[in-house]
Amino acid sequence: MKNYYIMTLFPDMIMSGLKTSITGRAKKNGIINFEAVNIRDFTNDKHGHVDDYPYGGGAGMVMQPQPVYDCYKYIENKIGKRTRVVYLTPQGKVFNQQMAKELAHEDDIVFLCGHYEGIDERVLEMIVTDYVSIGDYVLTGGELPAMVMIDSISRMVKGVLSNEVSAQDESFSDNLLEYPQYTRPEEFMGSMVPEVLLSGHHANIEKWRHNLAVARTVERRPDLFSDNGKTDKLIECVIEYFEGDVKRIQHMIKVYSLASHIAKMEKVDERTRYILETAAIVHDIGIKISEEKHGNCSGKLQERYGPREAQKLLLKLCYDEELIERVKYLVGHHHTYEDITGIDYQILVEADFLVNMHEEDMTEEQIKKVYSTIFRTDSGMKMCEQIYSV
Ligand code: 6GU
């Protein structure tokens, strides 16, 4: 059983909100419990006031420390130990699915809802363990945010949702939006349910759904793609892969950094830049195997072995299928300069050359030739001009 305590001046708002729907059912079933505790019940003020003017002046009122402290002590005593105390404030860390998942492991959580212009800082320092916001906008109080958090935390608690539904949460962990859903009728005002869904072919349906989820995320929330800490992990993995090979590791970091910079200067969209950065990190990953198998690492051998090595690594880190396909293509073509298609391809080649011109001690003439035949982007050309004085 999970226990959520909400310190608030508006207990009815919390209780009536949470008693409906799924959280209410979970409470009835004894899986979670929630209890709103009225801070006003703990005031020593004879008029029942819980707020006063701010020292130093300024607009609005500030909640006094004493009622908040005593209210908290009452709850702490009831639980029998110190637990996490979440203060809802727009100044907090922004709440997300990951936090919901983590907090779902806690047996007891206390939520503190502020009102007016805030709460006396001293009591916050004494009792609060976590400062949490639900997004970048201002609300009149912490009650709605507390309800939002409890709703989202509760649904991650085992038994609150049916097993079948709860498994679906894994789909958020790969940072993709949900695919579109359809139900009967098959035709609605002339608009049909996509045929693949009627086919009964489960593998095809899976694939179709995944592709749409990716497309939808690219379109609506490209920010969800960027990272999740994956780029950092990938760099670490590649360093480990080339362990001890100083030159290769330095080369990778340089190409990655230049590619990323050029993409930013060229205002390449986020998703494409992400693909490019990923490709830059793994672009030479075929080298090791080429050397092991053939004793050399010509561009062509790298193009042959690179894509498979890149794929292995990217799958391990759970990159999406569409990205992996493009990265494989880029790795497999980054020494091919005839038919450069796509800005990611173009920038990868330029970044690689900007580094190789120096690392391979190219002559002025060679550099000039590469510059005029291969470089296309304004930022890449400018950088080449500045670095190598072409
Ligand atoms: Cl947690 N509190 C208030 N008052 N406003 C908010 C918020 C919290 N999160 C976003 N806006």
**Contact 194 CB / ligand 1 (< 6 Å):** no
Tokens of 57: 């002046």
- 276 domain-assigned: yes
134 and 34 belong to one structural domain: yes
Q: Are residues 100 and 191 in the same domain?
A: no
Query: Does 170 fall in a domain?
Result: no
Helix/strand/coil percentages in the chain, nearest 5: 55, 10, 30
> Is residue 181 in a domain?
no
Let me know whether 125 and 214 are in one domain: no
133 with 104, same domain?
yes
Calculate how far, in angstroms, residue 91's C-alpha sits from the geometric centre of ligand 1.
8
Q: How far is the CA of 138 from the centre of ligand 1 (A)?
A: 5
Low-confidence ranges of the chain (pLDDT < 70): 164, 166-174, 226
Q: Is residue 307 part of a domain?
A: yes
Same domain, 45 and 61: yes
**CATH at residue 116:** 3.40.1280.10
Whole-structure pTM over 0.75, yes or no? no
Instruction: Determine the Cα–Cα distance for residues 79 and 109; give it in Å rounded to an integer.
Output: 10
Question: Which 8-state DSSP code applies to residue 3?
Answer: E
Torsion angle in degrees (nearest 10) through CA of 279, 281, 282, 284: 110
Nearest atom within ligand 1 for CA of residue 114: 4
CA-based R_g, the chain, Å: 28
The reply to whether 201 and 312 lie within a common domain is no
Expressed as residue numbers, the domain containing 273 is 227-388
Indicate whether residue 91 lines ligand 1 (CB < 6 A). Answer: no
Out of 137, 154, 171, pick the residue that ends a domain.
154
Of 286, 380, 378, nearest to 333 by C-alpha is 286
Is 179 domain-assigned? no
Distance CA 39, CA 123 (A): 13
Q: What is the pLDDT of residue 87?
A: 98
Domain identity same for 241 and 192: no
Please give the pLDDT value at position 175.
75
Q: Is 133 in the pocket of ligand 1 (CB under 6 A)?
A: yes
Same domain (yes/no): 231, 214: no
Of 115, 134, 148, best ligand 1 pocket probe by most atoms within 8 Å of the beta carbon: 134
Is residue 182 included in any domain, yes or no? Answer: no
Last residue in a domain, options 109, 136, 154: 154
Check whether residue 56 and residue 25 sit in a common domain. Answer: yes
Q: Which numbered atom of ligand 1 lies nearest the CA of 137? A: 11
Residue from 63, 132, 139, 152 to probe ligand 1 pocket by mutation (most atoms less than 8 Å from CB): 139
- The answer to whether the CB of 143 is under 6 A from ligand 1 is no
In a domain, 319, yes or no: yes
pLDDT, tens only, 204-247: 999 999 889 988 988 999 888 757 788 999 999 999 999 999 99
Q: 265 in a domain, yes or no?
A: yes
Quote the CA–CA distance of 126 and 108 in Å, as a whole number: 18
**For the chain, what is the largest distance between any 2 Cα atoms, rounded to a whole number of angstroms?**
89
Q: Is 162 helix (H, G, I), strand (E, B) or coil?
A: coil
> Is the minimum distance from the CB of 268 to ligand 1 under 6 angstroms?
no
Tally of domains within the chain: 3
Residues 129 and 205 in one domain: no
Residue 379 belongs to a domain with what CATH number? 1.10.3210.10
194 and 235 fall within a common domain:
no
Picking from 284, 295, 10, 327, the residue whose alpha carbon sits closest to that of residue 140 is: 10
198 in Cβ contact with 205 (< 8 Å): no
Q: Are 348 and 330 in contact (CB under 8 A)?
A: yes
Whether residue 370 is found in the same domain as residue 300: yes
Would you say the CB of residue 95 lies under 6 angstroms from ligand 1?
A: no
Measured distance CA(282)–CA(364) in Å, rounded: 29
In the prediction, which pLDDT does 226 show? 58
